Amino acid sequence: MKKSLVLLSAMVWLAGCSSEDEVEQAEKVNEEAEKVDEENEMDSLKRDFPDAEFASGVARQWFRLAPQLESSSEDSYLWLLNGKEISTDKECVHVFAAAGNHVLTFIVTNAEGLSERHFIVQIDEPAQAHGSWTNRVYEFVRAPGQFANTFPVIPPRSTYESVLKTVEDTMLSRELISLGGYGGYIVMGFDHTVVNGPGNDFVVHGNAFYGWAEPGVVEVSWDANGNGLSDDPWYEIAGSEYNAPTALHNYALTYYKPATDTGREVGAKGVRWTDNQGRTGYTPEETADMIGWPRWLGDTLVVGGSIYERSGLSAFAFGYADNWPNDDALAQIDIDWAVDKNGKPANLKGIDFVRVYTGVFSFSAGEDGIFGEISTEVTGAEDLSL
């Protein structure tokens, strides 16, 4: 097959060329490929590939290359990076861990044959170095509990925007943010994409120590729609408890603000809750310094995801936040552990956003529960590669 000759020549110019030489070579290879297309009379494949043989990008930022092909449902696509498959989508979306030059090959196949083009991709380091710590808070929902308005302090009449600002400032100064009882969560983002490299990739920092874990479930997401916002699908980091017999997924729990709770029992204290398993109950009684309902929330709060059972304050084996001391390797997370809604590997190349929520519903912290509910604390998340 004539095409295989073209592919071979593409591999040969890898070593030792300058970027300009490489682009020149790519031009030659593409001219040859066009001729082959003509010889093969593959009219349907003579489409508008990207003109330039050169594409550039920045390390740890999404690289996207989309050929302007007429849409044809019979086409199949293959992208090779330095000869290795990286995508079978029409648009190539990839992320590079470091600066460097690469050869990208795009192959379209349909009933008439195949056609291919080559690109030299030059990846540079960003003008301003990326930071290893999360730099932005996108969402924050504290669940009712002991530190509802005090950790960090949320002043009266705070708006949601001012709460976000307070929490973001707290994260930037690497101080503790309490998520409250089960389901309370924070969504944080980095100033770059955390690349899924070999082994562990990031760690969520909390205040766990040996014998005192308040595990938070970790979810990850990447900016699939490219709008810079955290509005893309989430993938749970399937830690050691994901398949435990007592684990519940698709769990939902509703908290009711005490003063407005019409279903409240006479004399009841604490915060009433119901869940999608038909259960109901009250959180422990509030005391003067335990104002149970976060000030900025409405009359009800629905939270959920997965929920895990645990007795005492022992740590889960791996894959959670606020579970092992921050400098223990068991606190680290591998993006490879991310799964979709059906528990299938998500195969993520990198992540931009991290969501952490309190993953157990328990009030057993301390003797007689004097330390209140199990509440995950976080100070931020760290990219281990920087």
Binding residues vs Ca ion (CB under 5 A)? 196, 201, 207, 214, 223, 225, 227, 229, 231-232, 322, 334-336, 377
CB of 78 to Ca ion, least distance (A): 24
The CB-of-375 to Ca ion minimum distance in angstroms stands at 7
Q: Angle CA(105)–CA(106)–CA(112) in degrees, nearest 5?
A: 130
Q: CB under 8 Å to 153, separation ≥6 — which residues?
A: 166
- The distance of Cα 34 from the centroid of its chain, to the nearest Å, equals 40
Q: Which is nearer to Ca ion, 168 or 201 (CB)?
A: 201
| Contact call for residues 322 and 379 (beta carbons, < 8 A) | no
**Residue of 336, 386, 333 lying closest to 356 (CA atoms):** 333
Residue placing its CB nearer to Ca ion in the complex, 214 or 373: 214
Residues whose CB is less than 8 angstroms from the CB of residue 58 and which lie 6 or more positions away in sequence, other chains included? 123, 124, 125, 126
Tell the smallest beta-carbon distance from residue 240 to Ca ion (Å).
17
Residue 275 vs 322, nearer CB to Ca ion: 322
Q: Least distance in Å: CB of 200 to Ca ion? A: 6
Secondary structure of 141-210 in HEC code, one letter for each residue: ECCCCCCCCECCECCCCCCHHHHHHHHHHHHHCCCCEECCCCCCEEEEEEEEEEECCCCCCEEEECCCEC
**Between 130 and 205, whose beta carbon lies closer to Ca ion?**
205
205 Cβ partners below 8 Å, 6+ apart? 174, 326, 378, 379, 380, 381, 382
Cβ nearer to Ca ion, comparing 46 with 341: 341
Query: Do residues 349 and 218 lie in contact, with contact meaning Cβ atoms separated by under 8 Å?
Result: no
Q: Which residue number, 377 or 382, has a Cβ lying nearer to Ca ion?
A: 377
Residues recorded for the chain: 386
Q: Which is nearer to Ca ion, 50 or 325 (CB)?
A: 325
Q: Report in angstroms how near the CB of residue 199 gets to Ca ion at its nearest.
A: 6
Give the start-end residues of each E strand in 21-135: 54-58, 63-65, 76-81, 84-87, 92-94, 100-110, 113-124
CA-derived radius of gyration, the chain = 26
Q: How far is the CB of 201 from Ca ion (least distance, A)?
A: 4
CB of 10: closest distance to Ca ion in angstroms? Answer: 29
CB of residue 224 vs Ca ion: minimum separation in angstroms? 6
- Which is closer to Ca ion, CB of 116 or CB of 377? 377
Within 40-186, residue ranges assigned H as helices are: 160-172
Closest CA to 36 of 115, 103, 104: 115
CA angle 265, 270, 271 (to 5 degrees): 80
